[in-house]
Structure 1
Amino acid sequence: MNITPLELEKIIQKAVEQALVKSFVKYLKFTIGLPLLIFLIMAVVIFVIARMNA
């Protein structure tokens, strides 16, 4: 199977784009998802403590 340099370039470009998208999604999950999760847990804990003291 002979691959022309142009085809090889397209294959490499597609692989790089997919890798970038995957790493960006992981980055977004970590930078947005984690603080959001921590905030929600803190909000629930504070709400429960406030309800117990009321």
Structure 2
Amino acid sequence: MAHSTKRVYPPFPRVTVEQVVSVVKELFRDHEELIVGFNDYLPEEHRISVPVQDI
């Protein structure tokens, strides 16, 4: 007979959008193309601004 045990995990801390944006800005610094792609997953009001490159 299979015996099942219920695992108890510690609660996962909540993070805010602002905290995520702050970390992503640091991680993707100098990689504007990654920030532009990440912006697709953010609500409009939390988008990370990227400087426009001269062409």
TM-score of the pair, normalised by structure 1: 0.31
Larger Rg: 1
Greater share of residues in helix: 1
User: How high is the TM-score relative to the length of structure 2?
Assistant: 0.31
Structure with the larger RCO, 1 or 2 (CA within 8 Å, 6+ apart): 2
